[in-house]
Amino acid sequence: MKLLLVALSLGLLSLVHPPTLRPPLAKKPHLPSAPPPDSTTVRLLYGAESADLTELMGRVLHVEKHRLALHDRRLAGRRLHLTLQEYRRGVPGPEKPLDLDSSLTRLDSAGRLAMTIYARPASETTVENTFILPRATMPRAFAAVPDQARNYSLRFDIHPLRRSPDQTGAALRSPVEEFSLPLSGPATVLAVYTLPYEKDGMYLYCGLAQSHVPVAEWYQRFRVPHYVVYRVRVE
């Protein structure tokens, strides 16, 4: 089995089996800070509550679990417009709405919305992302690159991630983090479900997500043959 090179938050390097088992951490730990005034905070929790279960999911079942939560009274009654777009060998497919029912991603009267996303290889030839919302479950399947289904990873570290304020005193590699989401302007990338890129015989994830290279250029720059971009806009 090929080994993957993963950059941990302390700047150290470690070899692990695919897919990545730890939450996608930033290269350096960020102290808690208030989001910009024109944005809101998304709370991100990687894995299950049990560390053993998270390990089982990652090492044996090759399943990633990410839970996102928003709570901002300014957003009461507004919705998240989510889209997906596949890129194959640098060629973008059509950008599609994740759902056609706008009420499914509407925040409640207190400005709250939570969703869980599972990413997994559904078969040797298919990968799947399942979005679990308060009133719906939406699986989305994609044809995987041959022999690569187990190597896909859902990356939120395309954002500068920071430790949640309530994690003060917790382990440095706490699975609870947060990032900022703009409240205006065009849609922004929420996450990318991607294969790693290969460098010096190693497969890299963090360096790809944190490269600051626009996702539309990942094939040209890194030769990543297939990835899915999820975008979000607050409406």
pLDDT in tens, 77-130: 999 999 999 999 999 999 999 988 989 999 999 999 999 999 999 999 999 999
Per-residue pLDDT reduced to its tens digit, 30-43: 444 566 779 999 99
CA distances from 64 to 6, 58, 120, 151, 214 (A): 15, 6, 6, 11, 24
- Tell me whether strands 4-7 and 202-204 are parallel, antiparallel or unpaired: parallel
Residue 150 structural domain: 4-234
pTM of the model: 0.83
If you average pLDDT over every residue of the chain, what do you get?
85
User: How many domains does the chain contain in total?
Assistant: 1
Angstrom distance (rounded) from CA 69 to CA 42? 6
